[in-house]
């Protein structure tokens, strides 16, 4: 039993090391450098992502993940207004593996999403950002720091995301 009390704090500290600061932006974590492909096959270094000093939303999703698709579809209905008001850019990172990656492009085309789509087939960016289960959303400020993250999705979470985007857009 004593070992359990010694192990739990260590596990908690290790877990917190991989979680962005929860909204205050003081830790200054950057998007890790990982090489991925976009849906058109172009190579991307994730550390080079920029949006002219405006916010970037990075959302991890998969075609087999119902809450992921619900979240991105809910944001899609608002995305044009969000872009007009804040200049935000959304990058949807598919974590579909080799078995399901062929479903990504047909699904995206059927939805009409205007997002940048990155393909993380090997899960390299997912692991580097500490994502366990999608959906998980990260907000990156204009200086490239990860300032907020959220796991899971329930209807209305997109409003919290928008409030966070507005807060760093001012």
Q: Which of 128, 155, 112 is nearest to 58 (CA)?
A: 128
Q: Which of 54, 138, 44, 52 is nearest to 88 (CA)?
A: 54
- What is the average pLDDT value for the chain, to the nearest integer? 88
Which segment of 15-19, 31-35, 139-143, 145-149 scores lowest on mean pLDDT? 15-19
The radius of gyration of the chain's CA atoms, rounded to the nearest angstrom, is 16
User: Cα dihedral angle (153, 27, 53, 32), rounded to 10 degrees?
Assistant: -70
Chain centroid offset of residue 132 CA: 12
Q: Is the pLDDT of residue 53 over 50?
A: yes
- What is the average per-residue pLDDT within 59-86? 97
What CA–CA distance (Å, rounded) separates 84 from 64?
31
Residue 170: pLDDT band by 50, 70, 90 thresholds?
confident
pTM of the model: 0.84
N-to-C CA span, the chain: 50
**Whether residue 70 has pLDDT greater than 50:** yes
- C-alpha distances in angstroms, 6 versus 11, 14, 17, 23, 93? 9, 13, 18, 29, 37
The pLDDT value recorded for residue 27 is: 55
For tokens 């993380």, what's the residue?
120
Q: Region 56-60: what's the mean pLDDT?
A: 98
């Amino acid at each position: 039993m004593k070992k359990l009390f010694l192990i739990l704090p260590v596990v908690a500290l290790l877990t917190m090391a991989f979680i962005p600061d929860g909204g205050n932006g003081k830790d200054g974590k950057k998007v890790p450098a990982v090489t991925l492909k976009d849906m058109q096959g172009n190579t991307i270094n994730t550390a080079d992502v920029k949006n002219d000093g405006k916010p970037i939303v990075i959302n991890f999703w998969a075609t087999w993940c119902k809450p992921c698709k619900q979240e991105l579809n809910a944001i899609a209905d608002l995305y044009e207004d969000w872009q007009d008001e804040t200049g935000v850019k959304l990058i949807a990172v598919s974590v579909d593996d080799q078995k399901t990656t062929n479903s990504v492009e047909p699904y995206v085309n059927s939805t009409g999403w205007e997002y940048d789509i990155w393909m993380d087939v090997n899960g390299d960016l997912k692991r580097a950002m500490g994502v366990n289960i999608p959906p998980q959303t990260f907000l990156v400020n204009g200086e490239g720091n990860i300032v907020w993250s959220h796991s899971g999705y329930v209807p209305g979470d997109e409003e919290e995301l928008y409030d966070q985007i507005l807060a760093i857009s001012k």
